[in-house]
Amino acid sequence: MNNIFVYLEIEDGIVSDVSLELLTKGRSLANELNCKLEALAAGYGLDQVGQQVFPYGVDVLHLADDKRLEPYTSLPHTSLLVKLFQEEKPQIAFMGATTIGRDLGPRVSSALFSGLTADCTSLEIGGYEDRKAGKTYENLLFQIRPAFGGNIVATIVNPDCRPQMATVREGVMKKEIVDPAYKGETRKLKVSDYVSDADFVVEVIERHIEKSKLNIKSAPIIVAGGYGVGSVENFKLLHELAAVLGGEVGASRAAVDAGLAEHERQIGQTGVTVRPKLYIACGISGQIQHIAGMQESAMVISINNDPRAPINAIADYNIIGNIEEVIPKMIKYYKKNSK
């Protein structure tokens, strides 16, 4: 009762990074609230899940192991969570702000009439006073998230409804093992008590999921392009520079929306959060929602032909010029001087 729950995302038996990041956050909040951390794994062939998650401080692991639960579909996973939450009455529940978490979370919150805050960038515990109702609350979950295109940051609370639900994007929280020998308990759920046949009306006919080839999150150098890069051709220059420097290519939302780069490369509040030692922003104007995802970079170089681009204010170096001109020079003089 009153514990913290994390819904685990599992692909081929491997628990995803975003789930491990949420467990890490959940563990530290559980310590603060003096409650337990519980996790739910729903899928098929989940024997290896326990050993992956217990080191993150999971006290209770609920396993729903059933062939019909893999691959994920909305209805059965919703039914599982709704029923389990009705029994266990968690105070807080987290899921990844992934295609699965964002499909599942709203349904569960709608069924339970509990508040859900999407894409939180920070989660804290604190008190809240509702002056109108004359009520004060202790130990609420502060769900902090950008809003209004990233121009403001709002702190959201769910004073009366439980669980307090939040989703968080991959890479926003840090992942950290608390104790490799941490002991938790495994509870196997009788799946047929939680789902009905009617939950399986949606069939998955075909599925092509690629393993993430990119690792933008941990790249030491990122060459990122914005709408100002202009063309797919020019984006190839960014790839060349990244390859020469041993980095990865990132992109702003505008560039992704314009089809200049894959969604997986998107950096910012609606993409990945990165902390490289060098961030080269090419043709990126620097909307707040982008800056929020890269402001912790150790060094920022901005290449832009607009000297007043907002990103220039947070850059260490602003090169005023065109991508087509500047990047080949960077490649040339890096090669010349790096020997």
Please list every residue from 195 through 234 that binds another protein, using CB under 8 A. Answer: 201-212, 221
Stretch that binds another protein, among 25-33, 45-53, 179-187, 305-313 (CB under 8 A): 305-313
DSSP for 240-288, please give it: HHHHHHT-EEEE-HHHHHTTSS-GGGBBSTTSB----SEEEEES----H
* Nearer Cβ to another protein (113/197): 113
Sign of CA dihedral 284, 286, 290, 292: positive
Cβ atoms of 216 and 271 within 8 Å: the answer is: no
Contacting residue, 32, 179, 233, 257, with another protein by CB under 8 A: 257
* Nearer Cβ to another protein (19/184): 19
Contacting residue, 2, 106, 175, 217, with another protein by CB under 8 A: 106
**Residue 221 C-beta: closest distance to another protein, Å:** 6
* Nearer Cβ to another protein (160/233): 160
HSE, side-chain direction, 13 A CA sphere, residue 4: 27
Contacting residue, 58, 120, 254, 260, with another protein by CB under 8 A: 254
Cα gap 149→290, rounded to integer Å:
10
138 sits near another protein (criterion: CB under 8 A) = no
Both tokens of 295, joined, read 């402001």
* Nearer Cβ to another protein (180/307): 307
| Rounded (5°) CA angle 57-145-263 | 90
Please list every residue from 35 through 54 that binds another protein, using CB under 8 A. Answer: none
**Residue 38 C-beta: closest distance to another protein, Å:** 22
Please list every residue from 58 through 77 that binds another protein, using CB under 8 A. Answer: 71, 73-75
Contacting residue, 154, 185, 192, 236, with another protein by CB under 8 A: 154
For residue 109, the one-letter residue type is S
Burial readout 246-263 (b: 16 or more C-beta within 10 A, e: otherwise): ebbbbbbbbbbebebbee
Cβ atoms of 238 and 255 within 8 Å: the answer is: no
* Nearer Cβ to another protein (86/151): 151
Which residue, among 32, 25, 22, 30, has the nearest Cα to 4 in the 3D structure? 30
**Residue 187 C-beta: closest distance to another protein, Å:** 26
315 sits near another protein (criterion: CB under 8 A) = yes
**Residue 46 C-beta: closest distance to another protein, Å:** 21
271 sits near another protein (criterion: CB under 8 A) = no
* Nearer Cβ to another protein (14/299): 299
* Nearer Cβ to another protein (75/178): 75
Cα gap 17→42, rounded to integer Å:
16
